């Protein structure tokens, strides 16, 4: 411990975030074109000695905190995480040897307190992750001043790049092309409108403080300028606070691609580009899929982008990991600087995959004063060798409902197998709750293939194995993206989702074997979990003469064309594992019958979420089908079926529906069992008068109690069964005295 304290006290000045002018670096020379001198934070030190990072506080949450902690642990760095009250049981709060409580949900933003905690606990370095305080120069500065190594760029570079207007001035001065537009301080409505007219409509309004696609509005004509400006300003002020209302007016590129370059710089004057990422597949100006290399990009443009990105980083004396974002106009093939994100990005794994690097490790090494581990040539050689990588962001949201965010408990979570080429960065495990207080990203799935097509195919296959129950996700949507021909061809642009909505949205038919499997699965849970009296399986067994069971489901799935329909399934057990299953959808004349199918299932109850899960393997006439059936712990009738990579949501129809679905006829003067069941109790006595609707018998079927009510007013003649009796469907339960009035 002492050595740690000593280490932080002795921290070389060069580690306190001050940009140094590395002598003899041709590349650094570019930095002199930056309009503002960097003397304010320069201490003149050229000390480039290396002080390894030995302890770190991660000022973030979720998957990024876990991601950073993983590398920190592998480097032997003692790691501490922070958590708020609602995150107390979260994975990131549990993953490290030390974790400090912060309290309120917004406390991740409490910079001074976090710096104080780092000092108090003698922690040498602070990693800000992304989001929260990661691009806050005041926070970086506070760390520097407290003698804590900020694992990120110097505060000055953040200030220069943090403001979209200022960064564009610097870029223009350094010869990096920017989108034509107005970045000035004159902010009256009239002035901005006049600039918009000069730029020519359509224009894009953007907050100088923007991020995450917020505070941006497209203005297509002069008439709508004022309304859009007002709305952009309101959103920006709400998201970014004071100063957020300051707007840029940019030429709106009608068919843009978002292509960004991962850059990395050290304190020795080196700056490399680790390839580019195409992040054009977006919704609400937010990325959903990111890939490297960018598809359909000629090598000259690609290299030019890398050069411009390095130039941009060097112009602000950048140190550490950063991303230079460009917008590429598909109509003219021109590209323009959009902004620089002075941090690690969500999608950094894509670049790690194609370059075979660990960028968090690079961050720690650069923060310690080391040189970059690879040269530009070495990186390029790796990129050529390693093919393509693609990342899908798995969000708690409903794409069919305008990508509306969702939250809730992950009742069931099953992930694809990971390996060297299939990676998952996630912040949650089964049983965790995705809170509406924070970003709804559940996980990132990253895959690599020898080329782009292979990577997409592998991604699609992995997504098919990703199963989530408990909240809406975009997984089904992501699969459809992967199957979209236009996407496979690489014809991407930021309007992609809108342009291809016919193909990407809308219901698809659900095949009958899904319903067959749901019924077989339910039967499985029941026969496995509820052996009936006399050693017989409920409703089945040697003694049963009619060993079949009926189920009715209502499809409750936006993504199915059968949405709302009742589907009736009859399962007949022929022997131990052999069944006939007939499935009839509402509106079909006759059922589809699957004969002699072999089916096996096992049920478990998830320890964390107590969801009941049944895994089935059934040999249908043409194929083996593996299915997972999940019953919601809070609502046993809510079923989710995962089958052949598709998710279908059903509702086991409640008793009222059952009768209707089964077309149950009320036999005059008697009441019969609507389904195979066990008699729990008789609610009436022989000779008793009852009103229509009065409870007669309570039965249990599929672990569900059902009250059988009187279809008529009358007098009970006979109760056919006593408590504990097992009855087949159609067995008479109650007989009435025959009277003329009974109807």
Which does residue 266 touch among Mg ion, ligand ADP, none (CB within 5 to 8 A, set by kind)? Answer: none
The enclosing H or E element of 622 equals none
Least CB distance from residue 219 to Mg ion, whole Å?
19
Cβ-Cβ contacts under 8 Å for 338 (sequence gap 6 or more): 179, 258, 325, 326, 327
Cβ-Cβ contacts under 8 Å for 158 (sequence gap 6 or more): 135, 136, 137, 140, 152, 342
Stretch that binds ligand ADP, among 245-253, 296-304, 381-389, 526-534 (CB under 6 A): 245-253
Stretch that binds ligand ADP, among 26-34, 204-212, 427-435, 705-713 (CB under 6 A): 204-212
Name the token pair of 725: 């009796």
Closest residue to ligand ADP: CB criterion: 1
Name the token pair of 387: 């093919």
Interacting residue with ligand ADP among 282, 560, 601, 628 (CB under 6 A):
282
Q: Could you give the dihedral angle defined by the CA atoms of residues 40, 133, 93 and 610, in that order, rounded to the nearest 10 degrees?
A: -170
Using CB under 6 A as the criterion, what x/- string covers residues 91-120 for binding ligand ADP? -------x-x--------------------
Stretch that binds ligand ADP, among 208-216, 359-367, 405-413, 732-740 (CB under 6 A): 208-216
DSSP 3-state of 606 = coil
Judged by beta carbon, residue 346 or residue 675, the one nearer Mg ion is 346
Name the token pair of 602: 């096992």
Q: How many residues bind ligand ADP (CB under 6 A)?
A: 27
Judged by beta carbon, residue 325 or residue 460, the one nearer Mg ion is 325
Judged by beta carbon, residue 285 or residue 550, the one nearer ligand ADP is 285
Using CB under 5 A as the criterion, what x/- string covers residues 314-333 for binding Mg ion? -----------x--------
Point out which residues pair with 561 in neighbouring strands. Answer: none
Burial 481-510 (b: 16+ CB within 10 A, else e): bbebeebbebbbbbebbeebeeebeeeeeb
Least CB distance from residue 428 to ligand ADP, whole Å?
23
Site for ligand ADP in 289-348 (CB under 6 A): 325, 327, 338-339
Least CB distance from residue 288 to ligand ADP, whole Å?
11
Least CB distance from residue 197 to ligand ADP, whole Å?
17
Rounded to whole angstroms, the Cα distance separating 583 from 589 reads: 11
258 binds ligand ADP (CB under 6 A): yes
Least CB distance from residue 256 to ligand ADP, whole Å?
4
494 binds ligand ADP (CB under 6 A): yes
213 binds ligand ADP (CB under 6 A): yes
Interacting residue with ligand ADP among 126, 179, 359, 518 (CB under 6 A):
179
Which does residue 295 touch among Mg ion, ligand ADP, none (CB within 5 to 8 A, set by kind)? Answer: none
Rounded to whole angstroms, the Cα distance separating 725 from 483 reads: 53
DSSP 3-state of 476 = helix
Judged by beta carbon, residue 290 or residue 432, the one nearer Mg ion is 290
Judged by beta carbon, residue 344 or residue 520, the one nearer ligand ADP is 344
CB 603 within 8 A of CB 525: yes
Site for Mg ion in 163-192 (CB under 5 A): none
Interacting residue with ligand ADP among 129, 152, 154, 210 (CB under 6 A):
210
Least CB distance from residue 279 to ligand ADP, whole Å?
7
Q: How many of the other CB atoms lie within 10 Å of CB of 406?
A: 18
Q: At what angle do helices 155-162 and 137-145 cross, to 10 degrees?
A: 170
Least CB distance from residue 348 to ligand ADP, whole Å?
15
Q: Is 257 a catalytic residue?
A: no
Rounded to whole angstroms, the Cα distance separating 663 from 230 reads: 59
Judged by beta carbon, residue 157 or residue 720, the one nearer ligand ADP is 157
Q: What are phi and psi of 593, to 5 degrees?
A: -110, 125
The catalytically annotated residue of 257, 302, 343, 549 is 343
The enclosing H or E element of 183 equals none
Q: What is the 3-state secondary structure (H, E, C) of 15-30?
A: HCCCCCCCCCCCHHHH
In degrees, rounded to 5, the angle at the alpha carbon of residue 15 between the alpha carbons of residues 9 and 17 is 120
Least CB distance from residue 329 to ligand ADP, whole Å?
8
Using CB under 6 A as the criterion, what x/- string covers residues 67-86 for binding ligand ADP? -------------x------
User: Which is nearest to 553 in space by CA: 562, 545, 544?
Assistant: 562
Judged by beta carbon, residue 207 or residue 560, the one nearer Mg ion is 207
Least CB distance from residue 631 to ligand ADP, whole Å?
41
Judged by beta carbon, residue 325 or residue 391, the one nearer Mg ion is 325
Stretch that binds ligand ADP, among 183-191, 249-257, 310-318, 644-652 (CB under 6 A): 249-257
Using CB under 5 A as the criterion, what x/- string covers residues 276-315 for binding Mg ion? ----------------------------------------
253 binds ligand ADP (CB under 6 A): yes
Which does residue 122 touch among ligand ADP, Mg ion, none (CB within 5 to 8 A, set by kind)? Answer: ligand ADP
Which does residue 677 touch among Mg ion, ligand ADP, none (CB within 5 to 8 A, set by kind)? Answer: none
CB 276 within 8 A of CB 294: yes
29 binds ligand ADP (CB under 6 A): no
Backbone conformation region of residue 362, classed left if phi is above 0, alpha if psi is from -120 to 50, else beta: alpha
Residue 24 exposure: Cα atoms within 13 Å on the Cβ side: 2
Strand ranges inside 132-285, DSSP E:
149-150, 181-182, 203-211, 214-219, 247-251, 256-265, 271-283
Strand ranges inside 121-255, DSSP E:
125-127, 149-150, 181-182, 203-211, 214-219, 247-251
219 binds ligand ADP (CB under 6 A): no
Which does residue 208 touch among ligand ADP, Mg ion, none (CB within 5 to 8 A, set by kind)? Answer: none
CA-to-CA separations, 2 to 6, 121, 124, 126, in angstroms, rounded: 6, 12, 12, 18
Binding site for ligand ADP (CB under 6 A): 1, 80, 98, 100, 121-123, 179, 204, 206, 210-213, 250-253, 256, 258, 282, 285, 325, 327, 338-339, 494
Binding site for Mg ion (CB under 5 A): 325
The residues that are catalytic are 343
């Amino acid at each position: 411990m002492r050595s740690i304290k000593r280490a932080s006290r002795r921290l070389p000045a060069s580690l306190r975030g001050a940009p140094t002018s590395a002598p003899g670096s041709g590349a650094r020379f570019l930095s002199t074109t930056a309009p503002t001198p960097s003397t304010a934070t320069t201490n003149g030190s050229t000390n480039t000695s290396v002080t390894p990072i030995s302890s770190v506080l991660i000022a973030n949450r979720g998957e990024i905190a876990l991601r950073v902690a993983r590398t920190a642990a592998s480097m032997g760095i003692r790691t501490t995480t922070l958590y708020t009250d609602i995150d107390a049981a979260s994975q990131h709060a549990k993953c490290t040897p030390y974790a400090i409580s912060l309290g309120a949900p917004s406390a991740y933003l409490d910079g001074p307190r976090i710096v104080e905690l780092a000092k108090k606990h003698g922690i040498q370095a602070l990693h800000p992750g992304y989001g929260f305080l990661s691009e806050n120069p005041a926070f970086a500065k506070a760390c520097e001043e407290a003698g804590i190594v900020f694992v990120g760029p110097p505060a000055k570079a953040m200030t220069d790049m943090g403001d979209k207007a200022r960064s564009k001035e610097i870029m223009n001065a350094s010869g990096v092309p920017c989108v034509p537009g107005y970045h000035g301080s004159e902010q009256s409505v009239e002035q901005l409108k006049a600039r918009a007219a000069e730029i020519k409509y359509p224009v894009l309004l953007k907050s100088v403080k923007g991020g995450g696609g917020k505070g941006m509005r497209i203005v297509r004509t002069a008439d709508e300028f004022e309304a859009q400006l007002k709305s952009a300003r309101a959103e920006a002020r709400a998201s970014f606070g004071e100063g957020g209302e300051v707007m840029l007016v940019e030429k709106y590129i009608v068919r843009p691609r978002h292509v960004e370059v991962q850059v990395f710089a050290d304190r020795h004057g080196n700056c490399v580009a680790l390839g580019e990422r195409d992040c054009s597949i977006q919704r609400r100006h937010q990325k959903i899929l990111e890939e490297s290399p960018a598809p359909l990009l000629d090598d000259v443009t690609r290299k030019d982008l890398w050069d411009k990105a390095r130039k941009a980083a060097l112009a602000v004396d950048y140190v550490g990991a950063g991303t230079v974002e460009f917008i590429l106009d598909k109509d003219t093939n021109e590209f323009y600087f959009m902004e620089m994100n002075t941090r690690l990005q969500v999608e950094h794994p894509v670049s790690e995959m194609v370059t075979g690097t660990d960028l968090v490790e690079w961050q720690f090494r650069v923060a310690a004063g080391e040189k970059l581990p690879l040269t530009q040539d070495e990186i390029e050689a790796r990129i050529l060798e390693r093919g393509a990588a693609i990342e899908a962001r798995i969000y708690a949201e409903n794409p069919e409902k305008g990508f509306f965010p969702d939250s809730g408990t992950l009742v069931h979570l099953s992930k694809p197998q990971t390996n060297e080429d299939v990676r998952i960065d996630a912040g949650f495990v089964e049983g965790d709750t995705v809170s509406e207080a924070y970003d709804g990203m559940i996980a990132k799935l990253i895959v690599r293939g020898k080329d782009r097509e292979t990577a997409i195919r592998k991604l699609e296959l992995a997504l098919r194995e990703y199963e989530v129950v408990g909240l809406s996700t975009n997984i089904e949507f992501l699969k459809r993206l992967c199957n979209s021909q236009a996407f496979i061809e690489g014809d991407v642009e930021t309007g992609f989702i809108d342009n291809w909505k016919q193909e990407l949205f809308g219901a698809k038919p659900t095949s009958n074997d899904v319903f067959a499997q749901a019924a077989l699965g339910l039967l499985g849970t029941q026969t496995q979990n509820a052996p009936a009296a006399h050693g017989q399986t409920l409703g089945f067994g040697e003694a049963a003469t009619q060993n079949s069971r009926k189920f009715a489901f209502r499809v409750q799935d936006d993504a199915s064309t059968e949405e709302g329909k009742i589907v009736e399934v009859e399962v007949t057990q022929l022997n131990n594992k052999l069944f006939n299953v007939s499935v009839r959808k509402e509106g079909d004349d006759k059922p589809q019958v699957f004969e002699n199918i072999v089916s096996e299932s096992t049920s478990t109850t998830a320890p964390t979420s107590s969801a009941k899960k049944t895994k089935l393997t059934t040999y249908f006439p043409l194929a083996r089908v593996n299915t997972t059936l999940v019953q919601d712990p809070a609502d046993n009738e809510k079923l989710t079926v995962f089958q052949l990579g598709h998710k279908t949501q059903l509702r086991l129809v409640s008793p009222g529906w059952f009768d209707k679905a089964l077309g149950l006829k009320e036999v005059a003067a008697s009441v019969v069992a609507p389904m195979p069941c066990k008699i729990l109790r008789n609610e009436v006595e022989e000779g008793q008068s009852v009103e229509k609707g009065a409870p007669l018998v309570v039965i249990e079927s599929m672990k569900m109690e059902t009250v059988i009510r009187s279809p008529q007013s009358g007098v009970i003649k006979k109760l056919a069964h006593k408590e504990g009796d097992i009855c087949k469907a159609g067995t008479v339960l109650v007989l009435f005295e025959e009277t003329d009035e009974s109807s």
